[in-house]
């Protein structure tokens, strides 16, 4: 086989999933991850549609199921906590919907790491510094580890991918901001029930709680804003900004935001999608959020990463390691599936963040109507179009 050594940047979801499959096909794999270990944090992510088949083929369905969280659905409440609309997951049973697997992102990242760590080299607390490719390989220098030359480099280092910046150019050329920001953090407050409970406030703001596997709740806040001048590394400034934006919001906002300062897993970012004409250049390719971040508003990021990892590894193996063939087929097989996965369901950003009281009431009313029996088919198409239209290719094990 040509091109046996593969360096993957990013040990999140896409990176370890790719490492899993590449190892199975006989490649020698190294994963470099900037964090000191498998990175915890994040809320519930969905493994849906075609991705369920991928985890099945990995033999991980039972392991993942053992750690998954059974959320009842979404409930919208007013400033006094009265439920205005619900979107129960079970309402769609019998509509051709196979229930999603919901698992905390950090738990899934840890499972994928544990499944690969014995056969894959992990370099934690490190990052690629420079990449120089020629006809024979890619010369890589790191922040900490000794330089080395590998056959292929895959950037699976998330929506702000450093590999993409090094090999394809600046993020601004590929990231399309969606005009809104989000923060997540865990709280010690017990989950009151199994619902993802959300309160929309005028000014295009939403705050919500979700149950965790440990019986506590995690918080999501989102608000519409054009580009904000806040440093991605300045957690204190981000928290001040969130606190100021939600200072006058009712429901449980005050209590929930009080837990923000102590949260070890506080995460803040803008909503943006990544759109690229090509996911590879020479010996370097991109995967997952680095290549096509659909944004958390789609609920598809994790599923696309798992499916993408399966296809990229399979096509490289099927091409005998020839990256020119393997990378091209990877794109051909996935492009339409990814484009579909980038569609934001339920009215886009405006549907999630209605601007004023009337828009909030209208959204609640449409939610109630959509869960009524005659309109469930429409809701199924609007919210559950899982892009499970991809028939997974079969690749021979190495
Ligand atoms: C902490 C965190 C929390 C998240 N929470 C949610 C959530 O609640 N809901 C949701 O829908 N999506 C969430 N996401 C995004 C979600 O994980 C992805 O959309 C999806 O799973 C695709 O995964 P990925 O592996 O492509 O990217 P990611 O999961 O973002 O993983 C990328 C990995 O690359 C690492 N990395 C970044 N830069 C470098 C570098 N220079 N060198 C080496 N490694 C690097 C990161 O530390 C991270 O481990 C979160 C991502 C992170 C990192």
Task: Report the pLDDT averaged over residues 211-232.
Answer: 93
Q: Which mutation among 20, 35, 42, 352 tests ligand 1's pocket best, with the greatest number of atoms within 8 A of CB?
A: 42
371: exposed, middle or buried (Cβ count in 10 Å: 0-12, 13-18, 19+): middle
Question: Rounded CA gap, 347 and 380, in Å?
Answer: 14
Q: What is the pLDDT of residue 347?
A: 77
Q: What is the pLDDT of residue 156?
A: 98
pLDDT tens-digit map of 386-396:
556 788 999 97
Give the whole-number percent of the chain exceeding pLDDT 90.
Answer: 78
Q: For residue 147, report the distance from its CA to the centre of ligand 1, in Å.
A: 25
Give the closest residue to 116 by CA, choosing from 6, 242, 41.
Answer: 6
Cα–Cα separations (whole angstroms), residue 89 to 6, 69, 99, 333, 371: 40, 13, 8, 30, 10
279 Cα to the center of ligand 1, angstroms: 18
Q: Under a CB-based contact definition with an 8 Å cutoff, are residues 119 and 110 in contact? A: no
Question: Which protein residue has the closest C-alpha to ligand 1 atom 5?
Answer: 42
**Cα(first)–Cα(last) distance of the chain, in Å?**
10
Cα 94 to Cα 34, 52, 91, 384, distances in angstroms:
44, 18, 8, 13
Give the side-chain half-sphere CA count within 13 A for 12.
26
Q: What is the pLDDT of residue 383?
A: 63
Nearest Cα neighbor of 92 from 107, 72, 109 is: 72
Contact between residue 323 and residue 152 where contact means Cβ atoms under 8 Å apart: yes
For residue 160, how far is its CA from the centre of ligand 1 (angstroms)? 9
Which residues form ligand 1's pocket by a CB distance below 6 Å? 9-15, 32-35, 39, 41-43, 45, 105, 127, 156-158, 162, 184, 267, 288-290, 296, 301-302, 305
**CATH no. of 5-69+104-173+273-341:** 3.50.50.60
CA of 41 to the centre of ligand 1 (A): 9
Residue 385 pLDDT more than 60?
no
- What mean pLDDT do residues 174-200 have? 94
CB 105 within 8 A of CB 40: no
Which atom of ligand 1 is the closest one to the Cα of 290? 26
Q: What integer is the mean pLDDT of 67-94?
A: 86
For 137-184, the pLDDT digits (tens) are 999 999 999 999 999 999 999 999 999 999 999 999 999 999 999 999
H/E/C letters for each residue in the chain?
Answer: CCCCEEEEECCCCHHHHHHHHHHHCCCEEEEEECCCCCCCCCCEEEECCHHHHHHHHHCCHHHHHHCCCCCCEEEEECCCCCEEEEEEHHHHCCCCCCCCEEEEHHHHHHHHHHHHCCCCEEEECCCEEEEEEECCEEEEEECCCCCEEECEEEECCCCCCHHHHHHCCCHHHCEEEEEEEEEEEEEEEECCCCEEEEEEECCCEEEEEEECCCCEEEEEEEEECCCCCCCCCCHHHHHHHHHHHCCCCCCCHHHHHHCCCCCCCCEEEEEEEECCCCCEECCEEECCHHHHCCCHHHCCHHHHHHHHHHHHHHHHHHCCCCHHHHHHHHHHHHHHHHHHHCCCCCCHHHHHCCCCHHHHHHHHHHHHHHCCHHHHHHHHHHHCCCCCCCCCCCCCCC
Q: Which two tokens stand for residue 232?
A: 């991605």
Selected residue with higher pLDDT from 74 and 286: 286
Mutate to test the pocket of ligand 1, among 11, 35, 105 (most ligand atoms within 8 A of CB): 105
pLDDT digits (tens, 9 = 90+) for 283-334: 999 999 999 999 999 989 999 999 999 999 999 999 999 999 999 999 999 9
**Atom number in ligand 1 closest to CA 162:** 41
Domain boundaries, the chain: 5-69+104-173+273-341
Q: How far apart are CA 335 and CA 247, in angstroms?
A: 43
Whether the pLDDT of residue 278 is over 90: the answer is yes
Confidence grade of residue 42 (pLDDT, cut at 50, 70, 90): confident
- Residues 289 and 275: their CA atoms lie apart, in Å, by 10
Average pLDDT, the chain: 92
Q: What is the mean pLDDT of residues 88-101?
A: 65
Pocket test for ligand 1, best of 128, 157, 220, 238 (most atoms within 8 A of CB): 157
Q: At 92, is the pLDDT very low, low, confident or very high (cuts 50, 70, 90)?
A: low
CA 218, CA 42: separation in Å to the nearest integer?
9
324, 284 in Cβ contact below 8 A? no
Q: Is 343 exposed, middle or buried (0-12, 13-18, 19+ CB in 10 A)?
A: middle
Distance CA 124, CA 196 (A): 33
Report the alpha-carbon angle 300-79-214, nearest 5: 50
Please give the pLDDT value at position 328: 98
From the centroid of its chain, how far is CA 206? Answer: 20
- Position with higher pLDDT, 305 vs 214: 305
pLDDT of 398 above 70: no
Is the separation of the CB atoms in 279 and 286 below 8 Å?
Answer: yes
When mean pLDDT is compared across 92-106, 142-156, 204-218, 352-366, the lowest value belongs to 92-106
Q: Which atom of ligand 1 is nearest to the CA of 43?
A: 8
Per-residue pLDDT at 376: 67
For the CA of 265, the closest atom of ligand 1 is: 1
Is 94's pLDDT higher than 60? Answer: no
- Nearest atom of ligand 1 to the alpha carbon of 17: 25
Q: Which atom of ligand 1 is nearest to the CA of 35?
A: 47
In whole angstroms, give the CA distance from residue 201 to residue 248.
9
- Rounded to 5 degrees, φ, ψ at 286 are -115, 155
Q: What pLDDT does 346 receive?
A: 74
Cα-to-centroid distance, 293 and ligand 1 (Å): 10
């Amino acid at each position: 086989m040509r091109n046996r050594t593969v360096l993957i940047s990013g040990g999140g979801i896409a990176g370890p999933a790719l490492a899993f499959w590449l190892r199975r096909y006989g490649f020698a794999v190294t994963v470099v991850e900037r964090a000191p270990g498998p990175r915890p944090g994040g809320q519930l992510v969905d493994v849906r549609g075609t991705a369920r088949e991928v985890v099945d083929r990995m033999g991980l369905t039972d392991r993942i199921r053992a750690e998954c969280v059974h959320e009842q659905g979404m409930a919208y409440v007013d400033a006094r906590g009265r439920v205005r609309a619900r979107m129960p997951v079970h309402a769609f049973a019998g509509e051709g919907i196979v229930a999603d697997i919901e698992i905390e992102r950090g738990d899934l990242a840890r499972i994928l790491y544990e499944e690969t760590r014995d056969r894959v080299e992990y370099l934690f607390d490190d990052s690629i510094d420079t990449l120089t490719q020629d006809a024979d390989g890619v010369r890589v220098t790191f922040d900490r580890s000794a330089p080395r030359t590998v056959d292929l480099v895959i950037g699976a280092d998330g929506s702000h991918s450093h590999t993409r910046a090094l090999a394809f150019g600046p993020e601004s050329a590929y990231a399309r901001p969606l005009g809104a920001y989000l923060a997540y953090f865990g709280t010690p407050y017990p989950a009151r029930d199994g619902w993802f409970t959300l309160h929309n406030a005028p000014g295009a703001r939403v705050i919500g709680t979700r149950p965790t596997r440990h019986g506590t709740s995690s918080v999501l806040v989102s608000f519409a804003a054009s580009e904000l001048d806040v440093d991605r590394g300045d957690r204190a400034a981000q928290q001040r900004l969130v606190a100021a934006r939600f200072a006058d919001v009712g429901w449980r906002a005050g209590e929930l935001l009080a837990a923000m300062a102590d949260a070890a897993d506080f995460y803040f970012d803008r909503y943006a999608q990544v759109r690229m004409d090509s996911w590879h250049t020479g010996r370097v390719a991109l995967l997952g959020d680095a290549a096509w971040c659909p944004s958390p508003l789609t609920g598809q990021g994790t599923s696309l990463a798992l499916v993408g990892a399966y296809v990229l590894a399979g096509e490289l193996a099927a091409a005998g390691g020839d990256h020119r063939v393997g990378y091209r087929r990877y794109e051909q097989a996935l492009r339409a599936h990814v484009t579909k996965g980038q569609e934001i369901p339920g009215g886009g950003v405006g549907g999630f963040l209605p601007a004023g009281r009337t828009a909030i009431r209208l959204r609640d009313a449409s939610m109630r109507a959509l869960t009524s029996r005659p309109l469930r088919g429409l809701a199924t198409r609007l919210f559950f179009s899982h892009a499970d239209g991809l028939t997974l290719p079969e690749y021979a094990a190495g």
